[in-house]
């Protein structure tokens, strides 16, 4: 996604990508070398493993004072992992949407149906998507 910010006489060009092998490959082409040379850094995040996702979920809950171990049902975690393909940004977005759905329903646990409702709120999931039949 390209965003151009105008600030006084200077134009700042900021681009964001998460895990885009295509964009990195395009930047390495000869006609984009000047732009690529202006990048100060790039980092490719590998998909998170199930253990890393569970650590993220537990840490996030503990950060807000929730120390129960069974907040996410196993089926909900499975949906989260499959729907996001372990992509960190997608995991964060879907987990947050699931937390909000559970709060809206005043539920103490995040179940698979809650996760499915959350999936409808997060565009561009790599894995599973819910199709209307």
The three-point CA angle 97-116-129 to 5° equals: 100
Sorted by where each starts, the structural domains of the chain and their CATH numbers stand as 2-37 (no CATH), 50-121 (1.10.8)
By three-state DSSP, how is residue 128 classified? coil
Residue with tokens 């209307």: 132
R_g (Cα) of the chain, nearest Å = 19
Mean pLDDT, residues 121-133: 62
pLDDT at 41: 61
| Distance set, CA 37 to CA 14, 22, 31 (Å) | 14, 17, 12
By three-state DSSP, how is residue 122 classified? coil
- Measure the CA–CA gap between 67 and 119, rounded to whole angstroms: 25
Statement: residue 34 has pLDDT above 60: yes
For 69-80, the pLDDT digits (tens) are 789 999 999 999
For 80-104, the pLDDT digits (tens) are 999 999 988 899 999 999 999 999 9
- Measure the CA–CA gap between 115 and 133, rounded to whole angstroms: 19
Mean pLDDT, residues 26-31: 72
- Measure the CA–CA gap between 92 and 98, rounded to whole angstroms: 10
Which residue from 35, 40, 57 is spatially nearest to 48, judged by alpha carbons?
A: 57
By three-state DSSP, how is residue 112 classified? helix
- Measure the CA–CA gap between 75 and 81, rounded to whole angstroms: 10
pLDDT at 128: 52
């Amino acid at each position: 996604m390209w965003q151009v910010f105008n600030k006084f006489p200077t134009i700042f060009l900021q681009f964001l990508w998460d895990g885009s092998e295509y964009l990195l490959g395009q930047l390495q082409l000869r006609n984009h070398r000047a732009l690529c040379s202006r990048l100060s850094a790039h980092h490719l995040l590998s998909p998170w493993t199930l253990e890393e996702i569970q650590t993220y979920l537990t840490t996030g809950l503990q950060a807000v004072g929730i120390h129960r171990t069974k907040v996410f049902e196993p089926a909900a975690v499975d949906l989260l992992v499959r729907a996001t393909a372990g992509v960190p940004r997608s995991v964060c977005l879907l987990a947050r949407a699931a937390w909000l759905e559970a709060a809206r329903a005043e539920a103490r646990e995040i179940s698979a149906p809650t996760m499915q409702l959350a999936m409808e709120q997060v565009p561009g999931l790599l894995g599973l998507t819910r199709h209307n039949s």
